[in-house]
């Protein structure tokens, strides 16, 4: 009986911890160890698209956005600036992503787009 109660108690602690972590991420009650993250490379002959995004507050947020865009064939690199809420998308030469696709990818990742600016 004692073993059974121990298992129940440990299971309860595990579930409570998991729910608390999900809750904290949803409310962004955690800190970032960096101001942003970069991945990929910048194609000097490609384009740059700056996207102002609401809700980017932690490294996990930045990694989620990077993961989504780096799967795209058009993207050579991406930089997420957490302090400014800015996502810089670098495209390959001759490639582009339209604003609607960018907005859809970011909204589907759980964030909101404020504006999209192209160089």
Where does residue 113 rank: exposed (0-12), middle (13-18), buried (19+ CB within 10 A)?
middle
pLDDT of residue 26: 45
Residue 6 has pLDDT above 70, yes or no: no
pLDDT digits (tens, 9 = 90+) for 65-105: 999 999 999 999 999 998 899 999 999 999 999 999 999 99
The strand pairing partners of 65, in sequence order, are none
Q: Are 78 and 65 in contact (CB under 8 A)?
A: yes
pLDDT band at 5 (very low <50, low <70, confident <90, very high): low
What confidence tens digit (pLDDT) does each residue in 8-62 have? Answer: 655 655 554 444 444 344 444 333 334 556 677 787 788 999 999 998 888 888 8
């Amino acid at each position: 009986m004692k073993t059974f109660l121990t298992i129940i108690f440990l299971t309860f602690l595990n579930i409570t911890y998991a729910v608390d972590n999900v809750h904290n991420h949803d409310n962004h009650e955690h800190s970032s160890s960096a101001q942003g993250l970069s991945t990929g490379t910048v194609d000097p002959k490609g384009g740059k698209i700056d996207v102002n995004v609401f809700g980017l507050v932690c490294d996990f947020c930045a990694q989620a956005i990077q993961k989504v865009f780096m799967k795209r064939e058009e993207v050579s690199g991406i930089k997420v600036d957490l302090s400014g809420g800015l996502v810089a998308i670098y495209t390959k030469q001759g490639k582009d992503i339209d604003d609607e696709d960018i907005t859809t990818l970011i909204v589907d990742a759980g964030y909101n787009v404020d504006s999209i600016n192209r160089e």
